[in-house]
Amino acid sequence: MLLAGAMLIVLAGCGRGITSTPGDAPNLDKWIAEVKARPAPPLDPLPVMQQFETFEYAAQGMRDPFSRAFRDEDGNSGPRPDSTRRKQTLEQFPLDSLDMVGTLGSGGSIVALVMAPDKVTYRVRPGAYMGQSDGRVTAVHEDRIELVELVPDGAGGWLERPSSVALEDQ
């Protein structure tokens, strides 16, 4: 009996916390009312749109960039590879696969030593060709070989592009 009475008291205490009415929490209701009564914080102003200067494109008096005005009869302009020239041995290798390994001579009669991927060392002088882009050697220095390659310009012509092969550090 005593145990049943204790259980009844415990259950009565728990029941009070479970069933609550809005009047049971006056502090919470007061706080909610205060928060709702506060004025809303001001919004950030909208960013100012930058006014762009207008520009009217009038190309009536300008040259057409797609015209053939700067091409000759064949449709090409400028330099082009010589198809009748006999290819040299170093033209079968890509330029980045060729390594300069040294030089012979001094002054104006300097000759570069170039090792190809086939592990053969070749002598290179100004005027020789190397690389797969018709690279013509223009100068040989003690630390590099300077050359000019012919690359397509995308419009049927060719452009000269300077390039070099530096002495490989061992």
CA of residue 13 relative to chain centroid, distance: 72
SS3 call for 82: coil
In angstroms, rounded to a whole number, what is the distance separating the alpha carbons of residues 56 and 50?
19
Query: Residue 41 has which token pair?
Result: 């914080």
In angstroms, rounded to a whole number, what is the distance separating the alpha carbons of residues 39 and 90?
82
In angstroms, rounded to a whole number, what is the distance separating the alpha carbons of residues 151 and 134?
8
- Amino acid 159 reads L
- Tens digit of each residue's pLDDT (9 = 90 or more) over 79-109: 888 888 899 999 999 999 999 999 998 777 8
CB 117 within 8 A of CB 99: no
Instruction: Map out the domains of the chain as residue ranges.
Output: 89-166
**pLDDT-derived band of residue 163, with 50, 70 and 90 as boundaries?**
very high
pTM, two decimals, is 0.53
**89-166: CATH topology:** SH3 type barrels. (2.30.30)
